[in-house]
Each structure stands twice: as C-alpha cells, then as structure tokens.
Amino acid sequence: MTEHTLTTEPAAGRPARAPVRSGLALAIILICQLMLILDATVMNVAIPRIQADLGFSPTGVSWVMTSYSLVFGGLLLLGGRAGDLFGRRRMFVVGTAVFTLASLAGGLAGSAELLIAARVAQGIGAAMAGPSTLALITTTFTEAKARMRALSLFSAMASGGFAIGLLLGGLLTEWISWRSALFINVPFGLAIVLLAPRFVPDPPRRRAHLDLPGAIAGTLGVSGLVFAFTRGGSAGWGDPVTLASLGTGAVLLAGFLVLQARGSQPLIPLRLFAERNRAAAYANFFLGPMAMMSMFFFLTQFLQDIQHFAALQTGFAFLPMAAMVFALSRSIPRLLPRFGPKPLAVTGTVLMIAGAGWLTQLTPSSGYFETLFGPMILMGVGVGLAFSPMNVLVMASVPTEDAGAAGGVLQTMQQVGAALGLSILMTVSGSVTRSAAGSGVRGPQLMVDGMTAAFLGASLLAGLSFLVALTFRRHHTTA
C-alpha cells in the first residue's frame, strides 16, 4: 500500500480501503496523544497515596506532575527537529517505546527518587513522540475538510485529556492502586509501537540539524524558573537558592532567544509567529494551561483533603468538565469556519475567567453541586471554545516543511505553560497560607485560603488569555 492511499482521498479503483487505513492511522496517532496528555494529570488524584507510600514532602510531591510536564515541554522543540532529521514516524515509534518503558519503571518504583526519575524518562519519551503526532496528521490528511476533522479530534485529546486523566486516575487508584495509572500505558504503548510502522505513513525527511545548544539553554532556562517558583513557595523569595535559580533561568532563556534569532535552522523558526492569528494561538496555548492546571491540582486537594472524597469520587467530579471539552471540540469543524477564531476565543476565555473567579468563593463547607459543579461547566465550555480551535488554526495553514517545528512549538507552549503556571500558583498559595497561619488561621480554612488565592491567580491568567483573544483577526479561517 503506497503512502497516498493513506490519505482521505481514496485511490482509484479502491474506494473502500483508503478511508479504513486513514482511520486506523488517525486512531494510532490519537491514542498516543491521549496517552501523553493523560500522564500530565493522571497522578493528581493519587497524590495523597503516593505521598504516603513513598514519603514525599508536601512541596516535593508536586514534582510528580511538574517533572513530567517540564521535561516534556522543555525537550519538545528538540524532538520536533529530531523528527525532521531522523524521520517523524521513527521518532514517533521510538519515543512511544521510551515512554512505555518509563511507565513500567514508574509503576515499579519503590522510592520518591525512582518515581521522579521515571517521570523524567516519560517526559523524554513524550518529547520524542509528541511533535510527530501533529506533523503526521498534517502530512497524512491533505484534503482540507478531512484535515480539519482530524485536527479537531486531536484538539479534543489535547484539551480534554487533562480532565480525562483525573477521571482515569481516580478509577485506577480506587479500584487497583496508584501504580496502575502508570502500568496502563504499557499495553497501549506496545500496540502503538507494533502498529505504527505498518499503518502510519512516513513523510519525507528534510535536511536539518539538532541545535543542541538551543535545546539545552531553553530546557534549563524553563527548569530554572519552575524550580525558583516552586522553591519560593516554601523557602520564600529571600532564599539565595530561589534567587539564583530565577536569575539563571532568566539568563538562559535570554540566551535561547538570541540563539533562535541568529541560527540558520532554529528550533523555533520565527516565521511561525509572522502570521497574527498563529502568533495569538501560540500565546493562548501557553496561557490557557497555566490557568487550567491550578484548577486540577488545587481542586483535587480540596475534594480529597477538605471534602474527604475518595479517589474514584474525585475523578468523577471532573467528568462534567471533560464532557463539555469533548462536546465543544467535536463542534469546532462547524464553528470555526462559520465564526472564525476571535468570537470563539473571546467567549471561551470570558467563561474561564468566570469559572476561576467563582472558585475563589470556596469555603471548607462548600458542597459539590452548590459551588463546584457550575465552575466545572464554565471551565469545560470555556476551554472547549477557547483552545480547541488553536491546533486547527496553527496546523491547518503551516507549510509541510514546518509541520514538525510548528507541532513542537504548540505542544511546548502547552506543557511549559502547565508546569510554569502550576509552580507560580503554588507560590501564590504558599505565600497566602503562611500569611494566614501567622494571623492565627488554622485547620481546613488555612488550606482553603491558599487555594482560593491560587484560583484568583488563575482568573488573572485567564484574563491575559482574554486580552490575547482580542488580537485575533475577525475574518473566518480558511482551513
């Protein structure tokens, strides 16, 4: 079967087989993407049990989520360039294999250090496979409507996967153990490794180099900032290590930008930001996860530590949000051509601001349906409208030769935004908690004060996303 038969346009004389193989190729790619996104949040619900089993400190346990997102996001650009150099399908398969082995190691981890090491290895595998998912969709589906449908499904996985991870994590943690949330990746990863070489087409390679200095500067720069914000939440901003990490991270990121501006084959081609709508889409894909991750992390703590929900109940508590994200994502092929990105992004970000703002009213006695169900619906609809079109907007118009870089930048924005946003809002929460404790506040109210401060911060981040949404052009997308 030649490569062109894998597109949505059937080969002459064989109309029935091409769509089936195109559908199978898409299923393989989407399952991989969902698996990579799930692991950003699937451990959230299990945090209390992981902390008890492996002896994490209260601040250290956040690295179970942050280490994965940070390494995933930090190395995505390098993974995209490696796909151009070594072949996108090859990197897709090798990255999935690394991710699968790391998941097995994480499930077997007997200490906090081993679990964090496994999560870092998962991030490396995800960074190898992640950029190729979008690039393979773009090169497999060449017809405009079919590409938009495929990218919309991808958006549903990318946006809704965070919430689905919480639901799946709750199910597995309650019914089996937190380790099963890692073990479940193994059969799916093996299936992808075996099936992808047969059914996913391999686009032509192009000449490229890896730009290791840029990758090292960018990854260490972001890591320095995340570490500084995470440590600042516990040690304070006068701590020398915090200040040194913050300064080093800022210098490295400045160096990264200089390398990208001067390099002949940069990891981030600046031409990707030349088109206004694409640049705004990238900015929103950075800001949106910064606000979203606080909701997942802090609401999980609220439900389990304050309301005493079981892991399974906590997972199902996020079901309304996940359902809204998926419902809106499936509507993007109809909504985006009709209205264009600006009305969708503006409406979605306003709903996100309202949802995060509503959560600032939490008290220790707040019930789920009285105080949490409404914000879940608002956030789900908001995320579905504001961010599901972003994948389509970026990838539907990008030249084929830039597909790997464009996909890598898009997912880098998402993962780095999630890691940086969580570290910033944990700092906000920790600062308010210390101040409240100094004023004599104790017990559940102390925790809730920190959480509501984080939600206020999330609403401000969503407000920045709203301002970016105003910059979209009014005309309809041509995808």
CATH number of the domain within which 188 lies:
1.20.1250.20
| 117, 104 contact by CB (below 8 A) | no
Any domain includes 294: yes
CA quadruple 312, 100, 161, 6: dihedral sign: negative
452/436 Cα distance (integer angstroms): 12
| 403, 151 contact by CB (below 8 A) | no
Any domain includes 479: no
Any domain includes 228: yes
> Which residue, 176, 152, 149, 178, is CA-closest to 165?
178
- Give the pLDDT of residue 227: 75
> Which residue, 465, 456, 467, is CA-closest to 417?
465
CA distances from 317 to 95, 133, 262, 335 (A): 32, 30, 48, 28
- Give the pLDDT of residue 269: 75
Q: Which helix (H) or strand (E) holds 385?
A: helix 373-386
Any domain includes 475: no
Q: For residue 308, which phi and psi values (nearest 5 degrees)?
A: 60, 40
- Give the pLDDT of residue 3: 39
- In a shared domain, residues 284 and 190: yes
- Give the pLDDT of residue 1: 37
- In a shared domain, residues 186 and 222: no
362/298 Cα distance (integer angstroms): 11
- In a shared domain, residues 311 and 204: yes
Q: How many CA atoms lie within 13 A of 163 on its CB side?
A: 24
Any domain includes 478: no
- The pLDDT tens digits of the residues spanning 256-312 come to 888 877 777 777 777 778 788 888 888 888 888 888 877 777 888 888 888 888 878
- In a shared domain, residues 255 and 284: no
- The pLDDT tens digits of the residues spanning 416-453 come to 787 778 778 888 888 888 888 877 777 788 888 888 99
Q: For residue 62, which phi and psi values (nearest 5 degrees)?
A: -65, -20
The residues, any chain, with a CB within 8 Å of residue 324's CB and separated by 6 or more, are: 376, 377, 379, 380, 381, 383, 384
- In a shared domain, residues 88 and 231: no
- In a shared domain, residues 252 and 394: no
**Alpha helices for 263-318 (secondary structure H):** 276-301, 311-317
Range(s) of the domain holding residue 216: 212-264
Any domain includes 292: yes
- In a shared domain, residues 255 and 403: no
Token pair listed for 324: 């809204």
Number of domains in the chain: 2
Q: How far apart are the first and last CA of the chain?
A: 28
- In a shared domain, residues 162 and 178: yes
Q: For residue 395, which phi and psi values (nearest 5 degrees)?
A: -85, -20
50/119 Cα distance (integer angstroms): 13
The residues, any chain, with a CB within 8 Å of residue 392's CB and separated by 6 or more, are: 148, 151, 152, 155, 332, 336, 477, 479
Q: For residue 14, which phi and psi values (nearest 5 degrees)?
A: -135, 65
Residue whose entry in the numeric block shows the structure tokens 């503006």: 346
Q: For residue 103, which phi and psi values (nearest 5 degrees)?
A: -65, -40
C-alpha of 291 from chain center: 12
- In a shared domain, residues 201 and 226: no
- In a shared domain, residues 189 and 240: no
309 DSSP 8-state letter: -
The residues, any chain, with a CB within 8 Å of residue 370's CB and separated by 6 or more, are: none
Any domain includes 474: no
- Give the pLDDT of residue 58: 64
Last residue within a domain, chosen from 235, 264, 293: 264
Token pair listed for 369: 């349906």
CA distances from 299 to 161, 197, 254, 402 (A): 17, 41, 35, 38
- In a shared domain, residues 199 and 178: yes
Any domain includes 331: yes
69/286 Cα distance (integer angstroms): 13
- In a shared domain, residues 39 and 103: yes
Which residues of the chain, if any, have pLDDT below 50?
1-20, 476-479
